[in-house]
Copies of this chain bind each other. A is one copy, B any other.
Amino acid sequence: MDNNLFNIKNGRNLTMLVDFYELTMGNGYLESDLSDTIAYFDMFFRRIPDGGGYCIMSGVEQLIEYLSNLKFTDEDIDYLKSKNYFSDKFLEYLRNFKFQCDVWAIPEGNPVFPGEPLVTVRGPIMQAQFVETMILLTINHQTLIATKANRICRAADGRPVMEFGSRRAQGYDGAIYGARSAIIGGCTSTACTIAEQMFNVPASGTMAHSWVQLFPTEFEAFKTWAETYPNNCVLLVDTYNVLKSGIPNAIKVFDEILTPMGVKPKGIRIDSGDITYLTKKCRTLLDEAGYPDVKIIVSNSLDEHIITHVLSQGAKIDSFGVGERLITAKSEPVFGGVYKLVAIEHKGKIIAKIKISENEEKITNPGFKKIYRLFDKTTDKAIADLICLNSETIDNSKPLEIFDPVFTWKKKKLNNYYAKELMVKIFDKGIPCYESPSVKEIQEYAKSETNKLWEEVLRFENPHNYYVDLSNQLWDLKHDLLNKYASLYE
């Protein structure tokens, strides 16, 4: 079963996909007898791409598969030995590597916000450090694409969006896991065949210009297609001239081939030219020919902005095929998640750690934490996220006062609310303990959770900042540490 080679679930071993410094540090921890120090790391991000109001968490399933398959082969050990960098003790440690960390993550499909931990790892520093590269790579990539897809699908305003981007993806996994994330973000199907095989999400597609070019005439190309796929007849009408050739030939084929068979033609696709102008003209021609139900599908370098714009101009579009700008998140192709040490344990006690920076937004939230999402009981809308120390609990039955972590005088008292803990445990002492939902289930979940955000947060441009607040205890801890370091460098 060769195709399993793609599927981490079935054993793809990505252990050596690691920044070299994770290994030099690992060796260093061991050499300085620190390797068993229990450390806590948070993965979080600082900015929402495209100036949006939220991101869509994605990639947890692949993270679980990676962590489940961590293993150094003899070849890996031999290669590392050849670098003359590592002690024999360290190489033996790797040879017998057994993942032992606890891991928590926000489940896929959840809207997530800057500053809150998406993933938290607790375990021996050797291990918790080692997994940095792949945690970031996995969550950064998939969250980036799910977030972009979600924007594009919202712009399409209920019309189906098909993911068409494999050929312009950044590498094979960019296509495969990009398709997965696109579905999570809201796409109805993908052109990427292997993504259907792997994730049970619908693959779809019709014809390329080359099909039309191969035949002596466009009419013959369309006729042959209609005869081959009478029940799935979508014709690409822009190989020569949409209005003078493509649409007249399509109508002729509908009239002469499909209608006599009693079959309703499905649609036409336009992949170039002015979308607003052409779709209006096409709609009129199709309607006049008696085909008001034939769908108009458009593609060609679309994104949320072009889609919004052509729809506002009254373009007659039934569905969208979106390629390169989705699969690479072209407008902002980097999701800047980071992975930072937030605490260590010393004699069983948690000691919070902070990363200082002259850039305030780069200062970390210290300590072992959890997140509550607070909902209004009446509207079921999300009010705010509250990051707390892990030892804290919220009693839903009591009023709760939250405050802005920068402008601390801005306070809000909640009475009619309920609190939901966001993170779930996905590994317990190295053993996976969370079963990922199917991609379709995650898609549904993302839709329902996104619907719990206020309209103001959903806006594309200048959305309202969703509140991500710190508990009193966490705020105090953070500011104690900041004051301590500030006094050191006065």
- Interface residues in chain A, defined as those with a beta carbon under 8 Å from any beta carbon in chain B: 1-3, 5-6, 11-25, 27-29, 31-32, 34, 37, 39, 41, 71, 73, 75-76, 79, 83, 85, 125, 129, 132-133, 136-137, 140-141, 144-145, 164, 166-178, 191-194, 196-197, 203-211, 213-214, 224-225, 227-229, 232, 239-241, 244-245, 272-273, 324-325, 328-330, 333-337, 339-341, 344, 353, 355-359, 362, 485, 488-489
Q: A18-B194, A191-B19, A239-B356 are in contact. Are A3 and B76 (CB under 8 A)?
A: yes
Q: Which residue of B20, B168, B329 contacts A191 across the interface (Cβ within 8 Å)?
A: B20
Q: Decide: A273 and B172 in contact? CB cutoff 8 A.
A: no
Which residues of the other chain, B, contact A239 by a CB distance below 8 angstroms?
Answer: 355-356
The 5 lowest CB-CB distance pairs between A and B, nearest first, are A21-B205, A171-B173, A20-B205, A2-B13, A136-B167
Nearest CB in chain B: distance from A475 CB, A: 20
Q: A21-B207, A359-B272 are in contact. Are A5 and B16 (CB under 8 A)?
A: no
Q: Decide: A28 and B213 in contact? CB cutoff 8 A.
A: no
A76–B203 Cα gap in the complex (Å)? 14
Q: A193-B16, A240-B489, A273-B358 are in contact. Are A229 and B173 (CB under 8 A)?
A: no
A377–B76 Cα gap in the complex (Å)? 49
Besides A41-B210, A167-B337, 18 other A-B contacts (C-beta < 8 A) = A1-B73, A2-B11, A3-B76, A19-B164, A19-B193, A21-B207, A23-B193, A24-B229, A27-B228, A83-B203, A136-B167, A141-B169, A145-B170, A171-B174, A209-B340, A240-B489, A324-B334, A328-B333
The oligomer's copy count stands at: 2
A2–B453 Cα gap in the complex (Å)? 44
A330–B328 Cα gap in the complex (Å)? 10
Q: Which residue of B11, B19, B245 contacts A489 across the interface (Cβ within 8 Å)?
A: B245
Q: List 23 A-B contacts (CB under 8 A).
A: A3-B16, A5-B12, A17-B176, A18-B194, A19-B166, A19-B193, A19-B205, A20-B193, A22-B205, A24-B206, A28-B224, A32-B227, A34-B214, A137-B166, A167-B339, A170-B170, A170-B173, A171-B174, A213-B341, A213-B355, A214-B341, A239-B355, A328-B333
